[in-house]
Structure 1
């Protein structure tokens, strides 16, 4: 059950991220080198990978939790070491940028925690 919850959390996170990136590529085009339709098209492969990982989580093979956990940790590391210190600052962020970043990263941490619980065999109690 934790894997399914993590999958839904990742669906929400990726939809928020994709909508945000579309907004940046259209209404904020040219603000930075990261805000263009060309950059958006180049980044769609990452959303394709995310969709594949989420699909595996929904299907639920035994190794799905490990795959999802590695995926979350990779995105979190990218956010901490690349996106926030480089991309975010070059974009001259406003309130929408910071809120999206906090929500997206927070959802990744929630999904990672759920998947870690699954991998460790722990359960959430009611």
Structure 2
């Protein structure tokens, strides 16, 4: 059985629940084996968009991890691919900068709001 077949079986399981379960929400909650919430954001650190910092954010709003990425662009299309990445230490200035940028996205200064 291939990985895609296994994944498709899980999709099909919930499609079947959707079609047959009188109480779909309760059925779905019973099928849960554990949950984790994360969101991500990325900040470009260079004008040419080749270097960026990306972070995962937990449900409590705290940064879970920060990485810095180096992108390479294929000349045939605009699709970039990561060719190198490096984890950022918790006590790093870049980690703190990501916290500040996240806060700024959540609560933009009044002057930024007025320009929108």
* TM-score, normalised via structure 2 length: 0.24
More strand per residue: 2
More helix per residue: 1
* TM-score, normalised via structure 1 length: 0.23
**Structure ranking higher on relative contact order (CA contacts 8 Å, 6+ apart):** 1
